[in-house]
A and B are shown apart, each in its own frame.
Chain A
Amino acid sequence: MSEHSLRTALGRVSGLGSAKDGTQHWWQQRLSALALLPLAVWFALSVAGLAGAEHAQVKAWVASPVVAVLLLLFVLSGFYHLRLGLQVVIEDYVHAPGAKLALLVLNVFACAGVGLAAAVAVLSLHFRG
């Protein structure tokens, strides 16, 4: 490190750069992607096996604790991955400061809201049927 560097010793050690969050976003997006690989394949095959199913069949399916846990993992990691991905799309294409901020906030609220609603639906279906 050059002695002419303007970075402080603390800044160098924390390694977070000017955006203040370092590689956190990048890493979380990869972790959720890795989790979604098996979960998405499992979900697609399961739902194909439920094509045209009656309500009772779906209820019996989610009654299994393994299915309920996998569904929750799929929904939560899916909406988290979506939030991270849409954030980058907004940052890349929306440049008007007001619209950009509004969309970034809307993205977080919508992904959290719809994701939690889906998760509660899974829990309700599991426990109450």
Chain B
Amino acid sequence: MPAAKRPLSPHLQIYRPQITSVLSILHRVTGVGLGLGTLLLAWWLIAAAAGPGPFATAQAFVGSWLGRLLLFGFTGALFYHLFNGIRHLAWDAGYGFDLPSVTRSGWAAVIAAAAVTLAVWVLGYATMGLGE
């Protein structure tokens, strides 16, 4: 059957990115990213259960520049998904649907995620400093 000639809505490339749409897809992207990151989490736990040798290998990877980069992305994705998730729960409960609130809560989620991610990493480096 030939496709009906219906009008198409503008494509994603034509729409100007807005805070609402960008944060919405970012929630999905970080969700899938966290899914991949759980593999690292599972490896870390299984390595710890397997004993000091395997655990040292896992810790060495986590401590390498690549491991730290992945872990930093994981932390950022976790806190963005967490704070934006609070927005979703509030919407589900019927709060904050008007556009000014949506814009404000969106920026709040981005800023909170950045701030808490940095705070957790400061704590991590402070811990390592104490350990030495």
A-to-B contact residues, CB < 8 Å: 30, 33-34, 36-37, 40-41, 44-45, 47-56, 58-59, 62, 71, 75, 78-79, 82, 85-86, 89, 114-115, 117-118, 120-122, 124-125, 128
Known contacts A41-B82, A51-B127, A52-B59; A114 and B32 CB within 8 A of each other: no
B120 CB contacts on chain A under 8 angstroms: 44-45, 48
Contact call B85/A45, Cβ cutoff below 8 A:
no
Contact call B123/A117, Cβ cutoff below 8 A:
no
4 nearest A-B residue pairs (beta carbon): A121-B49, A51-B124, A55-B52, A48-B124
What separation, in Å, do the CA atoms of A53 and B48 have in the docked complex? Answer: 11
Contact call B131/A52, Cβ cutoff below 8 A:
yes
B52 CB contacts on chain A under 8 angstroms: 54-56
Q: Which of B48, B55, B89, B121 has the most CB of A within 10 A?
A: B48
Q: Does B78 contact A (CB under 8 A)?
A: yes
What separation, in Å, do the CA atoms of A38 and B56 have in the docked complex? Answer: 29
B35 CB contacts on chain A under 8 angstroms: 82, 85-86
What separation, in Å, do the CA atoms of A44 and B75 have in the docked complex? Answer: 8
Contact call A118/B42, Cβ cutoff below 8 A:
yes
Q: How far is the CB of B15 from chain A (nearest CB, A)?
A: 18
Instruction: Please name the residue on chain B nearest to A56 by beta carbon.
Output: B52
Instruction: Please name the residue on chain B nearest to A85 by beta carbon.
Output: B31
Contact call B59/A114, Cβ cutoff below 8 A:
no
Main secondary structure of the interface of B (DSSP, over half): helix
What separation, in Å, do the CA atoms of A66 and B73 have in the docked complex? Answer: 28
Interface size on B, residues (CB 8 A): 36
Contact call B89/A33, Cβ cutoff below 8 A:
yes
Interface string of B28-44 (1 = CB under 8 A from A): 10011011001101100
Contact of A125 among B41, B49, B89, B127 (CB under 8 A): B49
Known contacts A48-B123, A89-B31; A82 and B59 CB within 8 A of each other: no
Instruction: Please name the residue on chain A nearest to B132 by beta carbon.
Output: A52
Contact call A34/B89, Cβ cutoff below 8 A:
yes
What separation, in Å, do the CA atoms of A76 and B48 have in the docked complex? Answer: 18
Contact call B49/A55, Cβ cutoff below 8 A:
no
Q: Does B108 contact A (CB under 8 A)?
A: no
Contact of A49 among B32, B46, B55, B123 (CB under 8 A): B123
A78 CB contacts on chain B under 8 angstroms: 38
B89 CB contacts on chain A under 8 angstroms: 30, 33-34
What separation, in Å, do the CA atoms of A54 and B121 have in the docked complex? Answer: 19
Q: Which of B35, B78, B121, B125 has the most CB of A within 10 A?
A: B35
